Structure 1
Amino acid sequence: MTGKLDPAVLSEFVLSRTGAANPNLLAGPAFGEDAAAIRVREGTLIVSTDPISLAADRIGQLAVAVASNDVAAAGGRPEYLLSTLLLPDADPDLLGTITGQLDAESDRLGLAIAGGHTEVVAGLDRPLCSLACLGMADRFVATGGATPGDRLLLTKGAGIEATGVLATDFRDRLDVSTGVLDRARAAFDDLSVMPEAAILAPVATAMHDPTEGGVLGGLIEMALAGEVTLVVDADAIHVREETRMLCDAVGVDPLRVLGSGALLATVPDDEADAALSALHDEDIAAVDVGRIKGDEPAVELNGNRYTEPIRDDMYALWD
């Protein structure tokens, strides 16, 4: 089955097997945490790695956004990328398309591709692109840092990444107008959370960029990692018109599909209004969508209580 491993399996076979201890590793592998924090002479280095293995049409552009978002959401300032590109064959047109996307998006975001590895691998039916991102931080911001009494903020909206992927990889399944498809494809240019993360990092108790499982999946990961209850107002979560139309066309829930482009952040109650104002001053859409309680790890949304990870609705389209 496509998707993330069960938390129990992940804990037993991955998170418990992390090699030698190192006192400079400030934050290492843990459920819901997408980046590591390492003490270096200059301060704190944030490092993350993430693959793109399903979305094909904009794989290079997506890979840059996903990797750099993880560092930004941990409080870092993304600066360098390492690119591993595995190809199903030696088609120069495919290679040129992907590396062109990597180059263009990295340049647009001010990131340097410092190295990596590229090869053809037998048995692949589509390219796989995995990027590592590095950047310095003034402070590490964990996924699991929310505290009772915090307010929960969401930038931009739900299903932004899915909107672009549906409009490209699944366009043949969509009965929508050309105008809607054009607006949906433009979602690829709205995937970076670097600007909002930089604004929120000084005051946030936790930050997380929802990817697999969408906004709901990201909320659950924050709740489980922080051992808190997130009480969420579903009506406050913004869903773009084109996102809703494309999700309706293929029968998926906008809150449960690929969510890169949004940033979830918890901030102390007395910092929330100023944080929202600072985001709006930079023309970054952001809303208050909930509160943090000190109960058992859970997300309360639409009268439902979620205590376990969910599977992204998009995966059924590829299975």
Structure 2
Amino acid sequence: MTGKLDRETLSTLVLSRTGAPNPDLLAGPAFGEDAAAIRVGDETLIASTDPISLAAERIGQLAVAVASNDVAASGGRPEFLLSTVLLPDADPDRLDTITAQLDAESERLGLTVAGGHTEVVAGLDRPLCSLTCVGLADRYVSTGGARPGDRVLLTKGAGIEATGVLATDFRDRLDLSATDLDRAVTAFDDLSVMPEAAVLAPVATGMHDPTEGGVLGGLVEMALTADVTVAVDRDAVHVRPETRAACDAVDVDPLRVLGSGALLATVDADDAEGMLETLDDEGIDAVEIGRVERGEPAVAIDYERHTEPIRDGMYALWD
């Protein structure tokens, strides 16, 4: 089955096996945490790695956004990338497309590709692109920092990444006008959360960029890692019209699909209004969608309580 490992398997076979201890590792492997924090002299280095294998048409552009978002959502300033590209064959046109996307998106975001590895691997049926991103941070922000009383903010909207993927890899399944399809494709240009993360990092108690499992999946990871209940108002969660149309066309919930492009942040109640105003001043759409409460680790939404990681609705389209 496509998707993340269950928490027990991950904890037993991955998170418990981390090699030699090092006092300079400030934040290491943990459920729901997408980046490491490492002390380097008087500074903190944020590092993260992430693969892209399913979304084919914009795999290079997606890979840059996903890797750099993890660093930004942890309070870092993404700067360098290491790129691993594994190919099913030696088709030069395919490689040209992927590396051109990596180059263009890195330049657009001000990132430098500092190295990596590229080769053909037997047994692959599609390319796999895995990027490592690093950058320095003034303040590390974890996924699991939410505190009871905090407010939950969401930037830009749910399902932005899914919108672009549906409009390219699954275009033939969407009964949408050419205008709506073109608008959906532009979602790829809105995947970076670096601007909003820079605004929120100084005051956020927790931040997370929802990817697999969408906004709902990201909220569940925040709740479980912080050991709190996150109460969410679904009606407050912004969904763009093109996202709604694309998701309706393939019968998936926009809150449960690939969510890069949005940033979830918990902030003290006294900071919420000011942060929304600052984001608006920067031209970044953001809304308050809920609050953090004491209680069983869960996300409360639609009269349901979610206590386990969310399986992404998009995966059924590839399975």
Pairwise TM-score range, normalised by the shorter structure: over 0.9
CA offsets 1:93-112 (integer angstroms, 9 cap, x no match): 00000000000000000000
Helix, strand or coil: the match of 1:129? strand
- How far apart in 1 are the matches of 2:208 and 2:259? 11
Q: Secondary structure of 1:104's partner?
A: helix
- What residue identity is the alignment partner of 1:198? A
Matched pairs, number: 319
Q: In structure 1, what residue type is equivalent to 2:50?
A: D
Distance (Å, rounded) in 1 between the aligned partners of 2:288 and 2:173: 34
**Could you say which residue in structure 1 is the equivalent of 2:208?**
208
Q: CA RMSD in A?
A: 0.5
Structure 1 Cα separation of the partners of residues 42 and 148 of structure 2: 33
Cα deviation code 1:95-153 (max 9, x no counterpart): 00000000000000000000000000000000000000000000100000000010000
Partner of residue 195, structure 2: 195
Structure 2 match to 1:162: 162
Residue 259 of structure 1 corresponds to which residue in structure 2?
259
Distance 1:4 1:194 in 2: 25
SS at match of 1:296: coil
| Distance apart, 1:310 and its partner CA | 1.3
Which secondary structure does the structure 2 equivalent of 1:161 belong to?
helix
User: 1:7 corresponds to which letter in structure 2?
Assistant: R
Aligned to 1:27: 27
Amino acid at match of 1:37: A
Query: SS at 2:300's partner residue?
Result: strand
Q: How does 1:228-247 map to 2 (within 5 A)?
A: 228-247=228-247
Letter in 1 for 2:317: L
Task: Give the equivalent residue in structure 2 for 1:61.
Answer: 61
The equivalent of 1:123 in structure 2 is 123
Aligned-residue identity in percent: 77
Work out the CA distance in 2 between the residues paired with 1:22 and 1:72: 24
Post-superposition shift, 1:42?
Answer: 4.2
Residue 294 of structure 1 and its aligned partner are, at CA, apart by: 1.5
| Residue 47 (structure 1) aligned with residue 47 (structure 2) | yes
Aligned-residue offset at 1:200: 0.1
Which residue of the partner structure matches residue 71 of structure 1? 71
Any gaps of 5 or more consecutive residues in structure 2?
none
Q: In the aligned structure 1, how far is the partner of 2:135 from the partner of 2:203?
A: 19
1:68-95 residue CA offsets vs partner (Å, 9 max, x unmatched): 0000000000000000000000000000
Q: Residue 258 of structure 2 aligns to which amino acid in structure 1? A: L
Amino acid at match of 1:69: N
| Unpaired stretches in structure 1, ≥5 consecutive residues | none
**What secondary structure does 2:118 align onto?**
strand
**Stretches of 4+ moved more than 6 A in 1?**
none
Q: Tell me the SS of whatever aligns to 1:247.
A: helix
Paired amino acid for 1:63: A
> In the alignment, does 2:2 pair up with 1:17?
no
Deviations 1:223-276 (A, max 9, x none): 001101000011000101111111111111100000000000000011111111
CA distance in 1, matches of 2:145, 2:250: 35
Q: What SS does the corresponding residue of 1:68 show, helix, strand or coil?
A: helix
> For residue 85 of structure 1, what is the aligned residue in structure 2?
85
Please name the residue that 2:291 is paired with: 291
Match of 1:178 in 2: 178
Aligned to 2:304: 304
Deviation of the 1:174 alpha carbon: 1.0
Q: CA shift at 1:296, angstroms?
A: 1.3
- Residues in 2 aligned to 1:294 and 1:303: alpha-carbon distance in whole angstroms: 17
The AA in structure 1 aligned to 2:56 is A
Q: Which amino acid aligns with 1:239?
A: V
* Secondary structure in structure 1 of the residue aligned to 2:261: coil
TM-score normalized with structure 2 length: 1.00
Cα deviation digits, residues 25-68 of structure 1 (max 9, x gap): 00000000000000001400000000001000000000000000
Q: Which amino acid aligns with 1:43?
A: E
The AA in structure 1 aligned to 2:101 is Q
The DSSP-based 3-state class of the residue aligned with 2:276 is helix
SS of corresponding position for 1:258: coil
Deviations 1:10-39 (A, max 9, x none): 000000000000000000000000000000
